[in-house]
Amino acid sequence: MEQAIAQAAAALAQADALWIGAGAGMGVDSGLPDFRGNEGFWRAYPPFARRGLSFVQVANPRWFDVDPELAWGFYGHRLALYRQATPHQGFALLSRWAARLRHGAFVFTSNIDGHFQRAGFAADRLVECHGSLGWLQCARACSPALWPTGALELDVDGVTFRARPPLPACPRCGGMARPNVLMFGDERWISVRSEQQEAAQLEWLGRLRGARLVLIECGAGTAVPVVRWTAEGLARRWGGRLIRINPREASGPADAITLECGALEGLHALAEALGEAGLPRHGGEETGATRARAEEASAQRLRGPTALFSLCSEAQLPAASRRSRRRAWRRASAASSAKSVR
Ligand SMILES: NC(=O)c1ccc[n+]([C@@H]2O[C@H](COP(=O)([O-])OP(=O)(O)OC[C@H]3O[C@@H](n4cnc5c(N)ncnc54)[C@H](O)[C@@H]3O)[C@@H](O)[C@H]2O)c1
Ligand SMILES: [Zn+2]
């Protein structure tokens, strides 16, 4: 692994821009469970083991219709868990490196825990491709509105993992509200927020002409491989160097640098290899009118359409990422469709 770390550090030391991809494994060193296989999921949620329900079966929007106390028990518990956890030091290392690069960093994560924002990453430099627990929507999608989860707390029974009423309601139709998170077999997820974030990512990538891009992917699994596919695709298309950090699923394209270890350990090792001097200083991120204009444009996009009861359009999402997200989701859903939700 030493050679891989030296290679990764060398690539990072010459980078102008950093793309960060993160899956559930990124949160493991902050004390959060990943949902690797039924065993991993059931260890985290024993009541579902007793009922023989897998992650794919529980993370299904139908529960908000047929058993909202179960649905909110699961998501309410995760909300509290993610709030209580503190993002580990690897987030701070990434953020420190990003601050020194001419083009800074852009984050792409399937995590719904908001930990990158809590670690100080800018909200307009981030794609949450599976949505976020920080936002709510109508479970029936009676309108495309999203509203912030804010300080919402669910009263979740510690043994049954069921939430006790009152449960969050849609301010428009009075029906059940749900997190704005993409679930399995989810026809009602309102994707406008993620689409706007993906448009901002494309804009950032478009500004990298001639820049040296490094991609660090941490803890992205193979079961729902959106983060892995995105990382590999971007590395190919933008000619960037991919560094994949994963203790169990580190394999990747031949030209990727793979660190077979946890995210915190891998990022620490990289920091050490970079030494005191760390990354070269480019005088910080790009400044001036171009950057200010781009930031204002993306802030406007993020402000406008996510406001309560605003309109959204699927067409805003770049076709390639729409297709890749749906393909990955269909594959994962198909793998589990033998067992229907009860
Ligand atoms: N924190 C969260 O928001 C969270 C947590 C669990 C699952 N999810 C959701 O579950 C779905 C599945 O996600 P996934 O495919 O990324 O998860 P997964 O659970 O299938 O895979 C996790 C990956 O992390 C790796 N890993 C385990 N420990 C690690 C560590 N210490 N450091 C780095 N990597 C480690 C595993 O080898 C695996 O490849 C996604 O939609 C995701 O949104 C989110
Ligand atoms: Zn409604």
Looking at the DSSP bridge assignments, the partners of residue 164 are 155
Helix 263-274 to helix 89-100 angle, to the nearest 10 degrees? 40
Asked if residue 159 is part of any domain, the answer here is yes
Task: Using the mean position of ligand 1's atoms as its centre, give its distance from the Cα of residue 305 in Å.
Answer: 30
- Domain at 109, CATH number: 3.40.50.1220
Asked if residue 28 is part of any domain, the answer here is yes
Task: Using the mean position of ligand 2's atoms as its centre, give its distance from the Cα of residue 188 in Å.
Answer: 11
Asked if residue 193 is part of any domain, the answer here is yes
Specify whether the CB–CB gap between 58 and 45 falls below 8 A.
yes
| Mean pLDDT across 281-306 | 43
> Which pLDDT tens digit goes with each residue over 28-62?
999 998 887 778 888 888 888 888 999 999 999 99
> Which ligand places an atom closest to the C-alpha of 172?
2
Residue 279: pLDDT over 60: no
3-state helix, strand, coil in the chain (%, to 5): 45, 15, 40
**pLDDT of 324:** 55
The number of the ligand 1 atom at minimal distance from the alpha carbon of 246 is 34
pTM recorded for the entire structure: 0.85
H-run or E-run covering 82: helix 68-84
Could you give the C-alpha distances from 258 to 25, 109, 221, 314, 341, in angstroms and in order? 15, 19, 14, 35, 37
Looking at the DSSP bridge assignments, the partners of residue 128 are 109
Out of 28, 34, 331, mutate this one to test ligand 1's pocket (max ligand atoms within 8 Å of CB): namely 34
Strands 163-164 and 241-245, how do they pair? unpaired
Burial of 314 from C-beta contacts in 10 A (0-12 / 13-18 / 19+): exposed
> Which of 233, 198, 204 is CA-nearest to residue 294?
204
The number of the ligand 1 atom at minimal distance from the alpha carbon of 27 is 1
The number of the ligand 1 atom at minimal distance from the alpha carbon of 111 is 3
The percentage of residues in the chain with a pLDDT greater than 90, rounded to a whole number, is 72
Residue 288: pLDDT over 90: no
Region label for 288, one of left (φ > 0), alpha (ψ between -120 and 50) or beta (otherwise): left
The lowest-confidence range among 86-100, 244-258, 305-319 is 305-319
> Which pLDDT tens digit goes with each residue over 1-25?
899 999 999 999 999 999 999 999 9
Out of 20, 35, 181, mutate this one to test ligand 1's pocket (max ligand atoms within 8 Å of CB): namely 35
**pLDDT of 129:** 98
Task: Using the mean position of ligand 2's atoms as its centre, give its distance from the Cα of residue 170 in Å.
Answer: 5
The set of protein residues with a Cβ atom below 6 angstroms from ligand 1 is: 23-25, 27-29, 32, 34-36, 110-113, 130, 218-221, 223-224, 245-249, 262-263
Specify whether the CB–CB gap between 218 and 23 falls below 8 A.
yes
> Which ligand places an atom closest to the C-alpha of 266?
1
The more confidently predicted of residues 236 and 39 is 236
Give the number of other CB atoms < 10 A from CB of residue 337: 13
Residue 304: pLDDT over 70: no
Asked if residue 251 is part of any domain, the answer here is yes
**pLDDT of 220:** 97
Rg (CA), the chain: 20
**pLDDT of 275:** 86
DSSP sequence for 196-265: HHHHHHHHHHHTTTT--EEEEEES--SSSTHHHHHHHHHHHHHTPEEEEE-SS-----TTSEEE-S-HHH
Asked if residue 224 is part of any domain, the answer here is yes
Asked if residue 341 is part of any domain, the answer here is no
Residue 262: pLDDT over 80: yes
H-run or E-run covering 71: helix 68-84
The number of the ligand 1 atom at minimal distance from the alpha carbon of 220 is 16
Average pLDDT taken over every residue of the chain: 85
Asked if residue 157 is part of any domain, the answer here is yes
> Which pLDDT tens digit goes with each residue over 160-192?
999 999 999 999 999 999 999 999 999 999 999
Asked if residue 342 is part of any domain, the answer here is no
3-state secondary structure 116-132: HHHCCCCHHHEEECCEE
> Residue 277: which domain range?
2-336
Strands 131-138 and 147-148, how do they pair? antiparallel
CA-nearest residue for atom 8, ligand 1, is: 24
Query: Number of folded domains in the chain?
Result: 1
DSSP secondary structure letter of residue 105 = E
> Which ligand places an atom closest to the C-alpha of 176?
2
